[in-house]
Structure 1
Amino acid sequence: MTTRPAPSRSADPDRRYLKQAMDTPLLEREEELALATAWREEGDEAALHKLTSAYMRLVVAVAAKFRHYGLPFPDLVSEGNIGLMQAAARFEPERGVRFSTYASWWIRSSIQDYVLRNWSIVRTGTTAAQKSLFFNLRRLRALIRDVGSGALSPENRAYVAQALKVGEDDVEQMAARLSAVDRSLNAPFSEDGDGEWQDLLASEAPDPEESVMDSRDAAKRHEWLGEAMARLNEREQLIIRERRLREEAVTLEQLGERLGISKERVRQIEHHALGKLRKALVEAVGDPEEAGLIPAG
């Protein structure tokens, strides 16, 4: 008895989606307008579903244009669907523009952002100039028959910069990025395999000496602040702790209700207590701002 191999489950949903996208009929202008209006004005989710389903084929068509970047096609389609939903959320039918025209921009933008985020391990950039270069540099190089993958000649670099309205330095940097190959930080940097490229990266963490000094400085600042706080009475200490030493300060009104006084009186006590604290800290350390005990300014 011959057994047939089981169909790939991971591929089935993708094929079903593509078939559904292609089989869903397009909308006439009047029906599109009615559905968009029902969703925008009444929150009709059935209208939203019918509107977006009719343009899933548009998502597939736009996503197909980005397949050569080497990213999974289903992921491109998923990002395009996000753009389609964003278009539906922002579409204003009263402006008289077809939804398909409006949605195309959002779909393309969403897919482009995804490609930029994932095309290379090293981020390519997301400024307007970088995006324009990333998606048009190869096309323009082919147009002027500069088919190499290295640096552009000065004439060709100037041509691309003028065509895309970007700086020549931006063109040169993008050409270098697109021609470079990602290198794993775990790859050995010598033939004997004794070390990896990541071993050459400088650590951003403080060295042991800095850590010890920072710890000692913090302990000393805490000691100075404690001695200064001891000069305040109980009510002043409470107000300073609640207003100045918490991540989320308590409001003057809340403290006033808690202490049975007006919020203006709380403000006056706080101001007086801060003056006493500053005086005590000046006596102990000189300038409390330079000592890092109070914010500068």
Structure 2
Amino acid sequence: MDLRWFEDVLVLLEEQNLTRAAARRNITQPAFSRRIRSFEDWLGTPLLERKANSVEIHPALLDNEEEIKSIVKRAGELRNRVRTYSPERVQVTITTQHSLLFSAFPDIAALTREKAPQVNFRLKAGNRTDCISMFLRGEASVLLCYEAENSAPLPFDITVQRNEWGKDRLIPVIGGRLRYTVLADGCLPEDTPAVAYPENSHFGELLNQNGSQFGTANSAQNPVYVTAFSAGIKELVSSGLGVSWLPMSMVHRELESGKMINLSSNYGSIPLSIIFYTTSKNNTSKHLQELWSLTDP
């Protein structure tokens, strides 16, 4: 089996044409066709219906496109790990919410680089629910996430350790030309454009529970954008496209420079804890847990 066959098939699925696919793979069409036949021989079943003037792709190939992509990706990652392997270096996979990737993680990485330079990180960012699922499946040995202050810890078993990295706050902010719409009492017009969180996102649920104005589409008269991607929300707010809620750690520089205005004196804020979970099944993550828990960030 040749990994190139899988790559050939992916290009063929994208192009839906042997000639164009061969050109993208930088080989002649006859050579490309031979490689596709080799793949068919390896599978033990034909994947193309070859006619006089056309070729049709078998539905089984179309239905398994995502699985083929996954095989190519995993094989590439394995190849890279083997090529770059060093017994002196250790790789730890962290799954984290997008917002923490831009706020807390840089400090965590800097501390680790100073105290444990042999550790490399592989990051898997996503929404909170997806991150928890990846951690539970064993795809990451560290989970970095936000928790509402005083909320119940996630119900992991005794093999998982919970520690607090630091504190944060979810605050309402506005930027760009919309800064000049803030009224004398520090409030905003009710119909101010809002960049809202989905109701079922982590921040969306917290904002709904808190009754926070402009947090979700339900609490904003004019929700012009709805997204859970905090880095994107920050850019939209900075561009003056709407008011929204963001972690203080993500926007403190913009607040200090005056590019954004903190509206929490009128609309309140939500205290957050930055929590990391580590599994005792992984010795390196246990050592990192000890290092990070002894640090005052």
Normalization by structure 2: what TM-score?
Answer: 0.21
Higher RCO (CA-CA < 8 Å; seq separation 6+): 2
Structure with the larger strand share: 2
Over alpha carbons, which structure has the higher Rg? 1
Normalization by structure 1: what TM-score?
Answer: 0.21
